[in-house]
Amino acid sequence: MIGVFDSGSGGLTVLRVLRERMPNVDIVYFGDIKNAPYGNKSREELGVLTVLGIERLIREGATEIVSACNSVSVSIVLPMFEILDLPHANIVEMVGPTVSGLRGTEGKVLVVATHATIESNAYQDGLRMVGVSADGLALPDLVSLIEGGASDDAMREYVHNALAPELKEDHTHLLLGCTHFPLIRTIFTDVVKEVQPTCVIVDPALSVAGVVAQRFRDAGGGTTRFVITEDSPVFVKFVQEYCGITQPNIEVR
């Protein structure tokens, strides 16, 4: 059983692609809504929450883990595998597969993500390691707006005000380095069209799901189960509308 981990609704963007690629595997999704947003927390706090979240998924029966949260990617470091007693091969995080998928990209990438992800420099350094230039831009309030069910107009205004001055002519790619952001992809598309129309938007879910499908076996009953730490009508709405699961099995614990 694959366990998918995020602070809330963001990991659903990975889950959706994963389900398309792997229709048979059983999936348990953990959304730590009570502690969201993760992106404004310190590296120390994120390390603790990551261990707790992954241990929780293991208790739920997960034998393989997908960390569908960019903000904790820097926490997925070597000591953690020993703490969790989990073979390295059984965990997939966001940054490695995404950087690998962008290898050979001509041009320059603008990474938009949470404060924690941008501060960690994980994407910027990773991309430079494979010869791709990158800039980073934190959008620190966007996850709260999404999880709080803000109106499209409010989110559009926020994205426009933050992104328009930073998206330059030499930015050929805009990398959505927070799994929450593809939930409002149309807003990013509109702003990019207006400011820098040739810029290509990249959703890491595709590369991540590709690695998961290669590494883990697509065997099981095809069930999807959700465990969240706080009740959230916004989460339920995304599960139904974004993932197309009309009668989801969601437990609040």
Q: Which residues bind ligand DGL (CB under 6 A)?
A: 6-7, 10, 36-39, 69-71, 114, 117, 143, 178-180
Q: Is 69 labeled as catalytic in the residue annotation?
A: yes
Q: How far apart are CA 99 and CA 81, in angstroms?
A: 21
Nearest 10 degrees: Cα torsion 242, 145, 38, 67: 10
Catalytic-labelled residue, pool 22, 46, 66, 69: 69
Rg (CA), the chain: 17
Choose between 9 and 224: whose C-beta lies nearer to ligand DGL: 9
Minimal distance in Å, beta carbon 94 to ligand DGL? 7
Minimal distance in Å, beta carbon 10 to ligand DGL? 3
Q: Which helix (H) or strand (E) holds 154?
A: helix 152-163
Cβ atoms of residues 183 and 238 within 8 Å: yes
Q: How far apart are CA 210 and CA 164, in angstroms?
A: 31
Choose between 175 and 195: whose C-beta lies nearer to ligand DGL: 175
Choose between 86 and 176: whose C-beta lies nearer to ligand DGL: 176
Minimal distance in Å, beta carbon 62 to ligand DGL? 18
Catalytic-labelled residue, pool 72, 127, 178, 199: 178
Q: Is 178 labeled as catalytic in the residue annotation?
A: yes
Residues serving a catalytic function are 69, 178
